[in-house]
Amino acid sequence: MTTKQEPIDPGTPPWLLVVALATASPHAEHLPPWLTLLVAGALVWRAWLWHRRWRLPPGWCLALLVLASVAGIAWQFNGLLGREAGVSMLVLFMALKPLEMNTRRDALVVVMLGFFLLLTHYLYSQSIATGLWLLASCTLLTAALIRLHGGAQPFADIAGQAGLLLLQALPFMLILYLLFPRISGPLWGLPQDAHGGRSGLSNEMAPGSISNLILSGAIAFRSRFVGEIPEKTELYWRGPVFDDYDGFTWHPAAPKIKLPTSEPVIEVIGTEHRYTSIVEAHNQRWLLALDLATSRPPEAVLAPTLEVLSHEPLRARARFSFASSVDYRANRVEAPAILQQALSLPAEVNPRSRALASKWRSLPPAGITEAALSLFRQEDFHYTLRPPLLGANPIDEFLFGTRRGFCEHYASAFVFLMRAAGVPARVVTGYQGGEMNPVDGYLVIRQSDAHAWAEVWLAGEGWVRFDPTAAVAPSRIEQGIATALPSGEPLPDIVRLDADWLRQVRNRWEAANNTWNQWVLGYNPQRQRDVLSRLGLPNPDWRSMSASLALLCGLVLLVVTLWTLPRRRPVDPVERAWQNYCARLGQHGIDRFPWEGPLAFAQRVASQRPELAALTNEAACCYAGLRYGRSNGEQLYRLQECVRRLPPHGRRKA
């Protein structure tokens, strides 16, 4: 029995070091700096030992290094459980194992650890780039296995064999992808930290909260409309609504407020727009429907504050269908508790703003809103991402001092003035606008489109949207944030891509990512049922799917087996002619031995059958010349003539 303790040949360690580098290096951005340096140092150390043909470090040295490194990981992450600590341990082992790699068994451990480490990359990213990198790394791991067991070979041969093996596995991958039962929820996550690090709107609003979000070009969601798309100035995507103000920060309604249990009453005036949104995971409940949703998915509700909320936080990318109207009347008869909350203000804050609003109390509510908007239009207010810090009376300091702010400053000040003047109002946050991707027809809404506006309740009209930012910087609503900010203001990199070719490249890449997200990462149970129904399984269950899976995998295995079976080598014309001549001689009772050369066989034929000596000698000389000398067509023709001239009906000797 061959033991796995056989030493590896000197040409194998470089393959395994490249494998360790390819599988571990993408984790460098997630690891602590000290661990990244340790991993890099260990791999360089092993490469130097191989280059100098020096002995590997003793076991006690490696043991101390492992203990110290594990203790450092436990200290860094407050334990050894969870995604970060677990991945750090795997990367550490991948870096240190080559330092004790002497035998084939050790080399196999490195390769298997590499395959396992590949899976951990999907805990951080499931993008196309990650998939391509892992496919290349998987090919490299397979090539390392071939090199380990097959010995020294040309690189092209090893790469070709690895590619062929992966090509044979491709049909099985497609069958398993289509038929293996899908699970709901995020696949690549761990319970402790699978849902951390989500970006997007917050469940509170304070000065600076949205302006910080503007600097991100990440996609918040995509929407595809059925039919005509509303004008850009009408694209308000409703997120969290805030109606509780503590003097600095806006929050949702306090739990003690008794909200109505009945659904809001929405009267559609204009056209209903139907669309489908693909919302990125943000670990919150709001689904960011176009204001105002008239139809929603069954797993969501319409809150008393008119935002669409899912039953559970959105922890994975999901697809939802809506119908919305941008011309409506909402809750013309409102619950007293909501109206009372929409008038509440903290005591003894912003006295100058209160005094200004008290002068408007004699006006009708519509006049009060117009007075506030005129204030923003006529006074010297500026729209900026770099507003100065505000103190204990932020609204007063903003309205009568700095007059520089972003959308949250204007929405907050407008709602405060409305409440101080006796008009119910609240702050609405979400996204405004969007950019059409002509490649796939989706409207792309980014984090840089985050926005805040106000909503005022007017008797007989219900809740009406007012956007004070539009009074100061109308180009923000009409054309986007890039045109509204003064020169020199910070912008997300995605907004700075003004070149047409860069925009086209970005659109194609994002369209490809959208397809990847929907058909690979978003291949959930519902989509699987839809696909299988189109393939002839109208009501797929685990029994029919298992039977189909077994049948198709069996057929593919049979095809691959037949393809890889040894095939009979084709016989060239020279060999075929010589074998035919020897077969004819066998009918005359003279059989050629397998080890017998053509000239020696001709001599034996001459001694046993002198009448066939001349013809056999001619055939043997032609064959020897064709096989071992310079071949030409005349010799092949003469050999074939010898076959025809040999009598076919001789009798074998007893």
**Cα distance from N-terminal residue to C-terminal residue, the chain:** 49
* Token code pair at residue 427: 């702050």
* Token code pair at residue 86: 């677990």
Q: Do residues 427 and 242 make contact, with C-beta atoms less than 8 angstroms apart? A: yes
Residues 6+ apart with CB under 8 A from 624: 597, 598, 599
Assign residue 341 a region: left if phi > 0, alpha if psi is -120 to 50, beta otherwise? alpha
- Give the residues across from 432 on adjacent strands: 236
Q: Do residues 259 and 338 make contact, with C-beta atoms less than 8 angstroms apart? A: yes
The question of whether 451 is a catalytic residue gets the answer: yes
Residue 181 DSSP symbol: P
Q: How many CA atoms does the CB half-sphere of 225 hold within 13 Å? A: 20
What is d(CA 342, CA 188) in angstroms, rounded to the nearest whole number? 42
What is d(CA 410, CA 407) in angstroms, rounded to the nearest whole number? 5
* Token code pair at residue 326: 């941008």
Pick the catalytic residue from 30, 273, 409, 451: 451
Q: Which of 365, 356, 360, 345 is nearest to 419 (CA)?
A: 345
Residue 592 DSSP symbol: P
Assign residue 470 a region: left if phi > 0, alpha if psi is -120 to 50, beta otherwise? alpha
Pick the catalytic residue from 106, 396, 449, 467: 467
**Neighbour tally for 30: CB within 10 Å:** 18
* Token code pair at residue 640: 């074939």
The question of whether 642 is a catalytic residue gets the answer: no
Rg (CA), the chain: 39
Q: Which of 126, 278, 181 is nearest to 526 (CA)?
A: 181
Give the pairing type, strands 404-405 and 382-383.
Answer: parallel
Strand order of the sheet with strand 328-330?
A: 236-242, 425-432, 450-458, 462-466, 328-330, 266-268
Pick the catalytic residue from 30, 291, 396, 407: 407
Residue-wise DSSP of 521-581? IT--HHHHHHHHHHTT-SS--HHHHHHHHHHHHHHHHHHHHHHHS--PPPPPHHHHHHHHH
The question of whether 407 is a catalytic residue gets the answer: yes
Residue 325 DSSP symbol: E
Q: Do residues 218 and 412 make contact, with C-beta atoms less than 8 angstroms apart? A: no
Q: E strand or H helix at 341, and its extent?
A: helix 336-341
* Token code pair at residue 167: 């090509």
Q: Do residues 510 and 437 make contact, with C-beta atoms less than 8 angstroms apart? A: yes
Could you give phi then psi for residue 562, rounded to 5 degrees? -65, -35
What is d(CA 469, CA 408) in angstroms, rounded to the nearest whole number? 9
Active site residues: 407, 451, 467
